[in-house]
C-alpha cells in the first residue's frame, strides 16, 4: 500500500510539473486556460497498459514532448481477476510535417512509460515464502518503451473545446520481454513486441 501511495505521488508530479513549467509554450494549447488544465486527453487500446487506457496529458517544449497519466483495465473473465493499471507515459516528437490542409504528420515519436498493476497476482515486494533475492524483479512495475508515428487533423479553432484529433499507432515492448530476448537467443524478436493504437483529443 505504501508503494502504491508513492507511485501515485509520482504521477501527480508528472502531471503538475510539466504543465506548470512548460504548457504555456504549446502552440496547440489555448494559453488563456489555467496551467493545470490538461492540453489533451488520450484513449489507447493495448500496448501493455490495459485493454483500454484513458487519461489526461500535457504538451510542452513546443509540443515536442508529451506526458500522459493513464488508467487502464484488463477485464477479468470467469475466475480471472480484473487488472487495474496506472501508467505515466512520456514521448518525444522531434519533428513534424504539414500534409494537406489541416493535416499534420509527426513521422517519429519515441518514448517510454512506467506502469503499476494492481491485482492479487501482482507483487511490489515478494511474499515471505520466497527467499531474498530469489526474483530480482517486481511483477507490479513495468517499463514500457515504444516507437510510433502520429497523424492529426484540425477539427476546430480557438473557440472550440476540441481543436485537433490525432491517431497514433505504436510498436512497443516491456523490460522483462527485452531481458528475455537478450538471454534467450532462440526467442524471435517479434515475440517481444506489441501493437497499440491511440487517439488524442487536443484542446
Mean pLDDT per 10-residue section of the chain, whose length is 203 residues:
46 43 44 80 93 94 92 78 91 91 93 88 67 68 94 87 93 92 91 94 92
Sequence-separated (6 or more) residues with CB below 8 Å from residue 113: 49, 87, 88, 89, 90, 143, 144, 146
- Please give the grid coordinates belonging to residue 12: 501527480
- Identify the pLDDT of residue 159: 82
Measured in whole angstroms, the distance separating CA 181 from the mean position of its chain's CA atoms is 23
Are the beta carbons of 93 and 63 closer than 8 angstroms?
yes
Q: Alpha-carbon distance 69 to 133, whole Å?
A: 31
Q: Quick one: pLDDT at residue 128?
A: 64
CA dist list (Å): 191 to 99, 181, 184: 34, 9, 12
Asked if 115 contacts 49 with a C-beta cutoff of 8 angstroms, the reply is yes
SS3 97: strand
Count CB neighbours of 142 within 10 A.
21
CB 165 within 8 A of CB 199: yes
Domain ranges of the chain: 2-202
Beta bridge partners of 117: 85
Please count the other Cβ atoms lying within 10 Å of the Cβ belonging to residue 152. Answer: 21
Q: Decide the pairing of beta strands 103-118 and 164-172.
A: unpaired
Per-residue confidence (pLDDT) for residue 157, from 0 to 100 = 83
At 11 the pLDDT is: 45
Q: What is the pLDDT of residue 41?
A: 95
Q: What is the pLDDT of residue 144?
A: 94
Residue 158: Cβ within 10 Å count: 7
Q: What pLDDT shows up at residue 17?
A: 45
Q: How far out from the chain centre does Cα 93 lie?
A: 14
- Sign, Cα dihedral of 84, 86, 92, 97: positive
Question: What pLDDT does 27 receive?
Answer: 46
DSSP lists the bridge partners of residue 98 as: 104
Amino acid at each position: 500500500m505504501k508503494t502504491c501511495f508513492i507511485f501515485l505521488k509520482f504521477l501527480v508530479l508528472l502531471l503538475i510539473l510539466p504543465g506548470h513549467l512548460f504548457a504555456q509554450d504549446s502552440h496547440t494549447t489555448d494559453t488563456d486556460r489555467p496551467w493545470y488544465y490538461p492540453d489533451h486527453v488520450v484513449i489507447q487500446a493495448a500496448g501493455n497498459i490495459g485493454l483500454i487506457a484513458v487519461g489526461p496529458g500535457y504538451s510542452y517544449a513546443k509540443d515536442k514532448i508529451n506526458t500522459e497519466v493513464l488508467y487502464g483495465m484488463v477485464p477479468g473473465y470467469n475466475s480471472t481477476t480484473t487488472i487495474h493499471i496506472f501508467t505515466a507515459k512520456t514521448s518525444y516528437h522531434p519533428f513534424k510535417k504539414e500534409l494537406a490542409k489541416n493535416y499534420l504528420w509527426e513521422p517519429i515519436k519515441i518514448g517510454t512509460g512506467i506502469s503499476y498493476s494492481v491485482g492479487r497476482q501482482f507483487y511490489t515486494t515478494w511474499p515471505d515464502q520466497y527467499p531474498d533475492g530469489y526474483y530480482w524483479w517486481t511483477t507490479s512495475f513495468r517499463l514500457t518503451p515504444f516507437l510510433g508515428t502520429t497523424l492529426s487533423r484540425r477539427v476546430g479553432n480557438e473557440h472550440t473545446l476540441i481543436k485537433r484529433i490525432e491517431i497514433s499507432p505504436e510498436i512497443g515492448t516491456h523490460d522483462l520481454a527485452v531481458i528475455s530476448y537478450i538471454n534467450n537467443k532462440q526467442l524471435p524478436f517479434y515475440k517481444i513486441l506489441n501493437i497499440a493504437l491511440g487517439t488524442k483529443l487536443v484542446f
